[in-house]
């Protein structure tokens, strides 16, 4: 039975879902599962603690078991490559991530996969950028996707702070 918790962050309130063995979902619009178990979950507590530490500037790498759910082989490969090879404050382009994944997914297809990432921030899709700018971002509060991506990249030191 899944467990659910929320955390207020500088980029909005995020919800985290755990199945007690892995983190399965994180999002700004992640509703509590209807069958959420209210009993304590040490993994969920640890995930929320690590996210708190990340937003406090004290954590640069998450150490949590994750489950990406049912995905195509290509999507699984791309998200795994992102999770395992793209470190804090180090953006990569859509094309670079495509190459790292070892798949035949074109750079444009990488953007769609990033939009389907069930565990943003922990699986850092905000670090994937276009060759000529930020690219897109479906995370964040409604209507705040690109502002959220910019904030996360600035916070990690991957972008200079915006003047506006």
Catalytic amino acids?
A: 125
| 138-159 CB burial, b ≥16 within 10 A, e <16 | bbbeeebbbebbbbbbebbeeb
Contact 86, 37 (CB under 8 A): no
Pair of tokens at residue 162:
């915006």
- Which residues make Cβ contacts (< 8 Å) with residue 19, sequence separation at least 6? 2, 3, 67
Tokens describing residue 74: 């290509």
Measured in degrees and rounded to the nearest 5, phi and psi for residue 8 equal: -80, 130
Q: By the 8 A CB rule, do 44 and 122 touch?
A: no
């Amino acid at each position: 039975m899944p467990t659910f918790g929320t955390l207020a962050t500088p980029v909005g309130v995020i919800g985290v879902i755990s199945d007690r063995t892995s983190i399965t979902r994180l999002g700004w619009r992640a509703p509590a599962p209807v069958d959420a178990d209210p009993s304590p979950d040490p993994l969920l507590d640890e995930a929320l603690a690590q996210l708190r530490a990340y937003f406090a500037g004290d954590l640069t790498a998450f150490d949590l078991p994750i489950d990406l759910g049912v995905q195509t082989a290509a999507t699984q490969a791309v998200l795994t490559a992102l999770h395992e090879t793209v470190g804090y404050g180090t953006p990569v382009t859509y094309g670079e991530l495509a190459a790292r994944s070892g798949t035949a997914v074109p750079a444009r297809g990488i953007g769609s996969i990033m939009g389907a990432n069930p565990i943003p921030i922990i699986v850092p899709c905000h670090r994937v950028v276009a060759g000529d700018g930020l690219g897109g971002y479906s995370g964040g509060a409604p209507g705040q996707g690109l502002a959220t991506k910019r904030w996360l990249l600035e916070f990690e030191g991957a972008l200079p702070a915006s003047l506006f």
